[in-house]
């Protein structure tokens, strides 16, 4: 079963572990270092983000789920990739990457024929000059959303305008984690952030996500 395997980015490598916490194999080892990795929704593909801004895609073998081959590699950013995530499967093979320079890129796999495929840039969000710390897709009834959290304690919500054309997005909202903290205590510096969407259980449920920061100001270290 593919889901019996865990992928970890550690010490410049992507390591695969079994459910018994035994290391099965090393997928990737680079001098530049691997900062993050993520399985797709069905657990058959893995993406890895490197400190040099490269993305690696690994596909499992049909006859052996624990065997992976690197099928694509490209330069996505000029700086270190902090986080990458896969979009919900109904939108195809799509990943988003966020970088230390504040940019977020959206990539879609395009198959030219039955033999070859290429990852093409759909959208690059460049409206922040502070490091992006976390990103997460939210699949809501109103459409696909992407939430990003930044080192200055701000969060942004982007909304796709067309599910069939993922290059069209709009900024739906932007807000600080605590509205009066900057005025009272000065600027904050966040080291990490974590975003998690709540699964929708009914048509009447409003889109909901939780956001937490780890910063130098205690008032920001509250999940909301």
SS3 at position 188: coil
Residue 188: Cβ within 10 Å count: 22
SS3 (DSSP) at 180: coil
Residue 171 has what pLDDT? Answer: 94
Residues 6+ apart with CB under 8 A from 203: 141
Model-level pTM? 0.80
Residue-wise pLDDT tens for the chain (224 aa)? 444 444 445 555 666 665 555 555 565 555 567 778 898 998 889 899 988 999 999 888 776 656 788 899 999 999 899 999 999 999 999 999 999 899 999 999 998 776 678 999 999 998 878 899 999 999 877 789 999 999 888 899 999 999 888 999 999 999 886 555 555 555 667 888 889 988 766 666 677 888 888 876 666 565 55
N- to C-terminal Cα distance for the chain?
Answer: 35
Residue with tokens 């919500």: 157
Quick one: pLDDT at residue 13?
A: 63
User: CA-to-CA distance for 119 and 123, rounded, in angstroms?
Assistant: 12
């Amino acid at each position: 079963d593919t889901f019996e395997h865990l992928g970890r980015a550690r010490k410049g490598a992507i390591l695969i572990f079994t459910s018994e916490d035994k290391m099965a194999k090393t997928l990737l080892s680079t001098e530049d270092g691997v900062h993050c990795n993520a399985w797709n929704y069905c657990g058959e593909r893995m993406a890895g983000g490197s400190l040099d801004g490269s993305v690696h895609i690994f596909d499992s073998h049909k006859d052996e789920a624990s065997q992976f081959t690197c099928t694509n590699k490209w330069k996505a950013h000029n700086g270190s990739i902090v986080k990458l995530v896969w979009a919900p499967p109904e939108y195809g093979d799509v990943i988003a990457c966020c970088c230390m320079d504040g940019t977020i890129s959206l990539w879609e796999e395009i198959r030219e024929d039955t033999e070859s495929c290429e990852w093409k840039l759909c959208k690059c969000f460049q409206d922040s000059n502070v490091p992006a710390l976390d990103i997460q897709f939210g699949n809501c009834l109103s459409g696909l959303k992407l939430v990003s959290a930044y080192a200055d304690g701000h969060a942004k919500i982007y909304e796709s305008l067309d599910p069939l054309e993922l290059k069209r997005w709009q900024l739906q909202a932007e807000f600080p984690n605590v509205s009066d903290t900057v005025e009272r205590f000065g600027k904050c510096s966040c080291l990490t952030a974590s975003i998690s969407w709540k699964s929708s259980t009914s048509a009447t449920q409003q889109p909901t996500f939780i956001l937490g920061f780890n910063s130098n100001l205690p008032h920001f270290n509250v999940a909301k």
